[in-house]
Amino acid sequence: MSSCRNEQDRETMNCAEFQEKLPELFESGVDVSKDPHVKSCENCAALVRDLEYIASQAKLLLPIHDPSPKVWENIQSAIRGDEGNKEPVGASKRL
Amino acid sequence: MNLAMPSGTGSGLTEASKYGTFKNGRVRMNADPHPAKPVQHMRRNPPIEGEAEAISRAQAGDARAFETLYALHKRRVYSLCLRMLGNVAEAEDLTQEAFLQLYRKIGTFRGDSAFSTWLHRLAVNVVLMHLRKKGLPQVSLEETLEPSQDDGPRKDIGERDLMLSGSLDRVALERAVENLPPGYRLVFVLHDVEGYEHNEIAEMLDCSIGNSKSQLHKARMKLRDLLRSGERKESLV
């Protein structure tokens, strides 16, 4: 009942009202492309497709790559400084 | 949640960059207008095999275990730093600093949250401290996470040049992400790229879940603007 009323409400929404609701709709896990307003509004349908597309493409961005080996060397060196110990942080050494 | 904050993040910090004001080494956002909701997307931060044992051993002072943790997490921490800084040298410096803080603080990790979340929180704070130290003009925190009208996304009402072409490549998206205001960029990278959930991001940034969701939506809207303007420019060439 309440869900039907929500759908009816969205059918009568204008674009500004729909776009205000959009973050909530995305986070609710519903298929936003099936929203009554989206079905009747080409502009908001394109917006929804674009935002979904951006989110899906973002998942492809990881990983970049490893930092250079110098980073770990510097960490070891700084740890040695912390510990006041001249020996490297080695495999069998306790920190 | 009883997470220890990394050292060196300061307390009572009031200085800011154009990226905003941070208190107690953390970003603060507005009050949460929305209650927490269940997880919506597949988790991309599953437990890593051998990690729990490495943490215990590193906490006991085992150097090899710490090296294992570095090997397991260096890429993601570096990726976060590089995406936030856009500069390899700075990103490597901050990766180094984040792991040094890990070394100094790992004894305080209690397992209340995922280790990866805890480590990222530490790294995020290192990044934010660095941005602040760059001495950029001081503005309010709200502008960090609520960029000005000029910077922020706009509503898309009545526009007629519709969708992205569907041929968005990684380079274009990376470039657009680089051009996001830092507050938007951080939440977008943590959620959409790194796969953290809003409750984890809220914990990392010491903000509300509602604000994390709101920032993410604004980030995606802004990215769309940036990508579409890029496509328009390309079509004119």
pLDDT per residue as tens digits for the range B5-20: 333 333 332 223 333 3
Residue with tokens 């250079």: A68
Chain A partners within 8 Å of B66 (Cβ): 89, 95
Residue B162 or B228, more confident: B228
Mean pLDDT over the full length of chain B: 74
pLDDT score, position B15 = 28
Distance in Å, alpha carbon of B42 to nearest chain A alpha carbon: 11
pLDDT score, position B155 = 54
Among A49-58, B46-55, B142-151, which stretch is predicted with the lowest mean pLDDT?
Answer: B142-151
Nearest CB neighbour to A23, from listed B38, B162, B213: B213
Residue A23 or B135, more confident: A23
pLDDT score, position B113 = 85
Distance in Å, alpha carbon of B136 to nearest chain A alpha carbon: 27
pLDDT score, position B68 = 95
pLDDT score, position B169 = 74
Tokens of residue B136, six digits: 């950029």
User: What tens-digit pLDDT sequence spans chain A (95 residues)?
Assistant: 455 556 556 567 789 989 988 988 888 888 898 888 998 899 999 999 999 999 988 988 866 789 999 999 999 999 988 777 544 444 444 44
Locate the chain B residue with the closest alpha carbon to A31: B40
The answer to whether residues B69 and B51 touch, using CB atoms and an 8 Å cutoff, is yes
Residue B176 or B13, more confident: B176
Q: Is B142's pLDDT higher than 70?
A: no
Among B102-106, B133-137, B211-215, B224-228, which stretch is predicted with the lowest mean pLDDT?
Answer: B133-137
% of chain B residues with pLDDT over 70:
63
pLDDT score, position A14 = 86
pTM over 0.90: no
Locate the chain B residue with the closest alpha carbon to A58: B193
pLDDT score, position B9 = 34
Q: Helices marked H in chain B — which ranges?
A: 51-59, 63-85, 88-105, 115-133, 141-145, 170-178, 182-188, 198-205, 209-236
- Beta strand B16-17 with B20-23 is antiparallel
Distance from C-alpha of B200 to C-alpha of B136, rounded to nearest angstrom: 28
What is the complex's ipTM, to 2 decimals?
Answer: 0.74
| Yes or no, beta carbons of B34 and A22 under 8 Å apart | no
pLDDT score, position B168 = 66
Distance from C-alpha of B41 to C-alpha of B201, rounded to nearest angstrom: 14
The answer to whether residues B115 and B76 touch, using CB atoms and an 8 Å cutoff, is no
Tell me whether B217 touches chain A (CB under 8 Å): yes
